[in-house]
Amino acid sequence: MEPKSRLLSLVAVAAMAILAGGVFGGATNAFNGAVSPQYFRTILHWHHVEDVYRASIAQGVFEGLLNGAAFAIVFTLVFGIVSRCLCPFALALRFLMGIVGGVFVCWMLGGLIAMGLASLSPEFYRQAFIGIPQETGPMLGYAWVGGSIWGAMFGSVFATIAGSILFAIRWRKSQPS
């Protein structure tokens, strides 16, 4: 008996990846917007935006949806091709959540690394990046936000590639020879 295709499962997982990107972007920017509204005013030129916090969340949702859509294409193609559209929804969703977890870890590491760099050499940090506040506390908040955003961006590439490779290995091992 021929195994049944689960194309609809892959479409559902792609939709979940896009949704996860939007939720992740909104949630992380909710944190980042509270930590350093100055970062968003400076980098996005939001000097006349009244509620930077709410705008930062909306920006995070928007960018997260775009990022989620881009990586949903890669993620779904890999899962579909490797499994020949036979991958159950639950398994694909488990790997998707692992990828989101990996991006979260990279988001945190990026923020911590940037804060460490700013702490180690505030002079270098202020010269290397634009609009850095002079006071230590606001400078560290600004560093967190910039670093965490870069961490999430690079992390989404890394986690998607790693998750896709791990899925391919797991799938091939689970299939009869």
Looking at the domain assignment, is residue 145 inside a domain? Answer: yes
CA 117 from chain centre, in angstroms, equals: 22
pTM of the model: 0.92
Looking at the domain assignment, is residue 2 inside a domain? Answer: no
pLDDT, tens only, 51-99: 999 999 999 999 999 999 999 999 999 999 999 999 899 999 999 999 9
Looking at the domain assignment, is residue 46 inside a domain? Answer: yes
Nearest one of 103, 99, 75 to 9, comparing CA atoms: 75
Q: What integer pLDDT is reported at residue 1 of this predicted model? A: 57
**pLDDT tops 80 at residue 37:** yes
Looking at the domain assignment, is residue 113 inside a domain? Answer: yes
- Mean pLDDT calculated for residue range 46-53: 96
Looking at the domain assignment, is residue 1 inside a domain? Answer: no
Q: What integer pLDDT is reported at residue 6 of this predicted model? A: 82
Q: What domain range includes position 27?
A: 7-174
Looking at the domain assignment, is residue 141 inside a domain? Answer: yes
* Residue at token pair 């928007």: 62
Looking at the domain assignment, is residue 112 inside a domain? Answer: yes
What is the tally of structural domains in the chain?
1
Cα 57 from Cα 146, distance rounded (Å): 15
**pLDDT tops 70 at residue 50:** yes
Question: Percent of the chain having pLDDT more than 90?
Answer: 89
pLDDT, tens only, 130-169: 899 999 999 999 999 999 999 999 999 999 999 999 999 9
